[in-house]
């Protein structure tokens, strides 16, 4: 029942870093909070909003702070590696946002540092914490699906959101940055079974017209060592006014003893108003109709945050403070997911089937 006191540094004070900082500030084990951003003013504003004790434009200053014993890295996708390595060198447990890195070489560097220093690191695949996927995993563990034969899934979102991500990290494509959630979920459901082969095709003109050499749609077939087939696709170029506040998803899992049909499209929850619904992710974009709880990270209510990023953050902090079980992705799982998403992009580009390393 003992609680270890935590001092948390949040590196990257953007959309998700701001959520993580405010959630950390509200956690009973957290006695100290520091935030940083390459944009010092942004870190300062977050410190004021979250009640953080210390803000800096220098990541190393918050990571090395003597009162910090846990580090959350919420920088843009191409800026994860340096702060993660620094925290691991100092032996401070890390939560890094997905994807762990954008190259396998960087992911390997992170894993090597975590293993040589014995420092725990988890990767923020927050969609695992949506209740439907947690309970699906529980049913799989209970054996109600038998042996998984196949999984199929599709994620979609608006071009407005896709372009917002590409503006931040031009190589964080809808496959590497978004389909990654569902490659992670597939790997989690098939835990212990290795992926062997990836084949994919992509097509599109919307992102190219906007100046990004990226497909609007990419669909992949991933084959696992036991023969299981996984078909995952992403379409991120819906019109900007489509009523998505985040991803729409459909996942189906078929096994020798049962199936899971998970409708995560949010089409059963509609908000219609003359007053304007702001999009949490895209400044200035407003709807009159929206799928109510489709915001991917979650929603605010009474100053508290509810949803996958909230549950994930609390579970990770509880894990450090009270040794609570933590179903977050490990660095090795996140590396496997990155390997698959990079292979999907390569296969879509070359038309070839990619054999994954054994």
Ligand X SMILES: NC(=O)c1ccc[n+]([C@@H]2O[C@H](COP(=O)([O-])OP(=O)(O)OC[C@H]3O[C@@H](n4cnc5c(N)ncnc54)[C@H](O)[C@@H]3O)[C@@H](O)[C@H]2O)c1
Q: Does 347 bind ligand X (CB under 6 A)?
A: no
Task: Spell out the long-range contacts of 22-26 with Cβ–Cβ below 8 A and sequence spacing 24 or more.
Answer: 22/49, 22/50, 22/305, 23/305, 23/309, 23/310, 23/313, 23/314, 23/317, 24/50, 24/72, 24/313, 24/317, 25/50, 25/51, 25/52, 26/304
Among 45, 132, 137, 168, interactor with ligand X by CB under 6 A = 168
Q: Residue 16: in which H helix or E strand, if any?
A: helix 15-25
Among 50, 56, 69, 75, interactor with ligand X by CB under 6 A = 75
Query: Whole-number minimum distance, CB 255 to ligand X, in Å?
Result: 28
Task: Name beta bridge partners: 99.
Answer: none
Q: Does 315 bind ligand X (CB under 6 A)?
A: no
- Radius of gyration of the CA atoms of the chain, in A: 20
- Order of strands, sheet of 121-124, starting from the edge strand that comes earlier in the sequence: 54-56, 30-36, 6-11, 70-73, 94-97, 121-124, 329-330
Using CB under 6 A, count the residues that bind ligand X.
27
Query: Whole-number minimum distance, CB 53 to ligand X, in Å?
Result: 18
Among 50, 215, 296, 347, interactor with ligand X by CB under 6 A = 296
Q: Which residue is nearest to ligand X (CB)?
A: 14
The region of 15-23, 233-241, 258-266, 350-358 touching ligand X under the rule CB under 6 A is 15-23
Burial class of residue 148, CB neighbours in 10 A (0-12, 13-18, 19+): buried
Query: Whole-number minimum distance, CB 102 to ligand X, in Å?
Result: 10
* Most distant CA atoms of the chain, gap in Å: 57
Cα–Cα distance, 126 to 329 (Å, whole number): 9
Nearer to ligand X, 77 or 333 (CB): 77
Site for ligand X in 89-148 (CB under 6 A): 97-98, 124, 126
Among 22, 27, 42, 122, interactor with ligand X by CB under 6 A = 42
Query: Whole-number minimum distance, CB 125 to ligand X, in Å?
Result: 7
Task: Name beta bridge partners: 35.
Answer: 10, 55
Q: Does 74 bind ligand X (CB under 6 A)?
A: yes
Q: Per-residue contact track with ligand X, 276 to 295, x per CB under 6 A?
A: --------------------
Q: Does 76 bind ligand X (CB under 6 A)?
A: yes
Q: Does 13 bind ligand X (CB under 6 A)?
A: yes
Cα–Cα distance, 340 to 358 (Å, whole number): 13
Q: Does 264 bind ligand X (CB under 6 A)?
A: no
Cα–Cα distance, 130 to 307 (Å, whole number): 7
The region of 11-19, 147-155, 207-215, 318-326 touching ligand X under the rule CB under 6 A is 11-19
Contact criterion met (CB below 8 Å) for 176 and 232: no
The region of 25-33, 71-79, 184-192, 342-350 touching ligand X under the rule CB under 6 A is 71-79
HSE-up of 41 (CA within 13 Å, CB side)?
Answer: 0
Binding site for ligand X (CB under 6 A): 11-17, 36-39, 42, 59, 74-77, 79, 97-98, 124, 126, 168, 177, 296-297, 309
């Amino acid at each position: 029942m003992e609680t270890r006191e935590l001092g948390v540094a949040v590196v990257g004070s953007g959309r998700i870093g701001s959520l993580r900082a405010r959630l950390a500030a509200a956690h009973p084990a957290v006695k100290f909070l520091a935030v940083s951003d390459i944009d010092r003013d942004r870190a300062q504003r977050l410190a004021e909003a979250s009640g953080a004790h210390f803000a800096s434009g220098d990541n190393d200053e918050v990571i090395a702070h003597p009162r910090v014993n846990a580090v959350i890295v919420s920088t843009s996708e191409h800026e994860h590696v340096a702060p993660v390595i620094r925290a691991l060198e100092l032996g401070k447990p890390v939560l890094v946002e997905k994807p762990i890195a954008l190259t396998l070489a960087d992911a390997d560097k992170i894993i090597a540092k975590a293993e040589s220093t014995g420092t725990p690191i988890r990767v923020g695949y927050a969609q695992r914490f949506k209740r439907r996927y947690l309970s699906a995993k529980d049913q799989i563990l209970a054996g109600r699906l038998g042996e998984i034969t196949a999984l199929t899934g599709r994620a979609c979102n608006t071009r407005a959101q896709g372009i917002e991500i590409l503006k931040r990290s031009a190589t964080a494509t809808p496959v590497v940055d978004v389909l990654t959630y569902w490659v992670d979920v597939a790997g989690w459901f098939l835990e212990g079974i290795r992926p062997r082969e990836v084949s994919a095709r992509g097509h599109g003109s919307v992102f190219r017209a906007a100046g990004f050499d990226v497909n609007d749609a990419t669909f992949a077939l991933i084959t696992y060592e036991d023969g299981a087939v996984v078909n995952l696709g992403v379409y991120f170029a819906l019109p900007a006014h489509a009523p998505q506040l985040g991803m729409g998803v459909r996942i189906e899992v078929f096994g020798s003893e049962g199936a899971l049909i998970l409708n995560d499209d949010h089409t059963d929850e509609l908000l219609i108003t003359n007053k304007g619904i702001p999009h949490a992710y895209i400044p200035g974009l407003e709807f009159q109709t929206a799928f109510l709880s489709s915001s991917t990270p979650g929603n605010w209510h009474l100053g508290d945050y509810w949803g996958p990023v909230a549950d994930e953050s609390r579970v990770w902090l509880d894990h450090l403070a009270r040794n609570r079980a933590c179903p977050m992705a490990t660095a090795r799982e996140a590396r496997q997911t990155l390997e698959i998403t990079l292979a999907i992009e390569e296969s879509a580009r070359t038309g070839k089937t990619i054999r994954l390393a054994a």
